[in-house]
Amino acid sequence: MFREPLMGDEALAAYAARANALDDEAYVAEAADQILAAGHEPRYSAADQRVAVLYREAVTRNRMFLYQRGYNDAADRAGVELSVNDRLLARAA
C-alpha cells in the first residue's frame, strides 16, 4: 500500500504558515480533512503531522473549539456518533 512520506522541517513550517493564514471556516474544513486522513492510516503519517500543526494553530489562536468542530466533522463523515461533550466543546466560548 502506498504510504505518503513524513514531512520534513521545511514542509512542516510551510504548512504551519498556510494553516495560520486560514480563516475559521477554512481551518475547520482543513482540520476535518486531515483528521479523517490520519484516521485511515494505522501508522504515524504526514496526515498526523498536519493534524498536530492544526492543533497547535488552534492553541495559538486560543480557539480550540475550531479544532473540535473539525474533529466533529471528521467523526460525522466517518459515521461515528458524537458524545454530548464533543458537541459542547465545539461551541464558541
Q: Residue 29 in contact with residue 70, Cβ under 8 Å? A: yes
pLDDT for position 92: 76
pLDDT for position 41: 83
Three-class DSSP labels, 21-66: HCCHHHHHHHHHHHHHHHHCCCCCCHHHHHHHHHHHHHHHHCCHHH
Half-sphere exposure of 63 (CA within 13 A, CB side): 14
pLDDT for position 86: 83
pLDDT for position 89: 85
pLDDT for position 32: 97
Look at residue 81 and give its three-state secondary structure: coil
Q: Which of 54, 56, 59 is nearest to 28 (CA)?
A: 54
pLDDT for position 76: 94
pTM strictly above 0.75: yes
In order along the chain (93 residues), what is the average pLDDT of each group of 10 residues?
78 96 97 94 90 97 96 94 86 76
* Whole-angstrom distance, CA of residue 93 vs CA of residue 91: 6
